[in-house]
């Protein structure tokens, strides 16, 4: 009887742990959109995690291709918070970080910002594809 209870409790903990991990991956991290810009056919979205103590100190640059189709009903607005799952495009195992001036995304070279508060990286996400981008 004790073995059945221990096995049941073990299975419960395994299932509950797996559920928590997968829900974190789906939900994403909260980012506040601070700026929207564009280069050729690419939108550049500047975002920052909402849990930073000093605003506008660690901005991330997110690239999103402009679509020719109509966008979804949702709009991406400046100063609004969105849950995003970001993926870095920075080359893995890159030895000489000082010489990298930018990253190419969809055949467009996106240079790194010279401002100290923008991270020297370029991110992508599927969470904002097809959204309208509103500059206000």
Q: Give 38-77 pLDDT, tens digit per residue.
A: 888 888 999 999 887 777 778 999 999 887 766 666 678 8
Classify burial at 54, counting beta carbons within 10 Å of its beta carbon; exposed 0-12, middle 13-18, buried 19 or more: exposed
Element (H, E) at 17: helix 2-27
Q: Is residue 19 part of a domain?
A: no
Is the pLDDT score of 92 beyond 50?
Answer: yes
Q: Is residue 6 part of a domain?
A: no
Element (H, E) at 19: helix 2-27
pLDDT at residue number 23: 29
Q: Is residue 42 part of a domain?
A: yes
Q: Is residue 53 part of a domain?
A: yes
User: What is the domain extent for residue 96?
Assistant: 28-134
- Between these two residues, 78 and 26, which has the higher pLDDT value? 78
Residue 106, SS3 per DSSP: coil
Are residues 113 and 55 in contact, defined by beta-carbon separation less than 8 angstroms? no
- What's the longest Cα–Cα distance across the chain? 68
pLDDT at residue number 17: 45
State the total domains in the chain. 1
């Amino acid at each position: 009887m004790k073995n059945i209870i221990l096995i049941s409790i073990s299975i419960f903990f395994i299932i509950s742990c797996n559920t928590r991990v997968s829900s974190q991956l789906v939900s994403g991290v909260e980012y506040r959109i601070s700026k929207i810009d564009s280069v050729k056919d690419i939108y550049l979205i500047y975002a920052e995690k909402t849990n930073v103590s000093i605003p506008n100190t660690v901005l991330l640059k997110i690239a999103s291709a402009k679509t020719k189709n109509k966008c979804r009903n949702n709009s991406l607005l400046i100063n609004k918070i969105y849950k995003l799952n970001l993926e870095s495009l920075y080359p893995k195992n890159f030895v000489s970080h000082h010489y990298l001036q930018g990253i190419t995304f969809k055949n467009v070279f996106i240079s790194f910002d010279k401002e100290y508060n923008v991270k020297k990286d370029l991110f992508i996400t599927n969470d904002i594809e097809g959204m309208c981008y509103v500059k206000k």
